[in-house]
Amino acid sequence: MVSSGKSVIASNIKKYRNKMGISQDRLSKLADVTYNTIIKIESGANKNPTVETISKIAKALNVTVDSLLN
């Protein structure tokens, strides 16, 4: 587990988003979730996003849900 207090999900979303070279705002549009949701997940404020939200984000990032969770 990541020791900075952020969840593995938060770290992985940020990693894949940066790899694609897209902003949090762009990811929110691609995933059809609110910008605020992306910020809260990446910052660690929302440590348990819904399965639906994770699924949408994974699809937008072209990765599997599993790769965001592990």
* Amino acid letter for position 28: S
Q: What is the mean pLDDT of the chain?
A: 91
- In tens, the pLDDT along 20-52 reads 999 999 999 999 999 999 999 999 999 889 999
Q: Which letter does DSSP use for residue 22 in this model? A: -
Q: Which pLDDT value is given to residue 2? A: 40
- Tokens 């819904």 correspond to what residue? 50
Domain residue ranges of the chain, discontinuous segments joined by +: 8-69
Between the two ends of the chain, the Cα-to-Cα distance in Å is 9
* Dihedral over Cα of 14, 17, 21, 26: its sign: negative
Residues 43-64, mean pLDDT to the nearest whole number: 95
Q: pTM for this structure?
A: 0.89
User: For the domain bounded by 8-69, which CATH number is listed?
Assistant: 1.10.260.40
Number of H helices, E strands in the chain: 5, 0
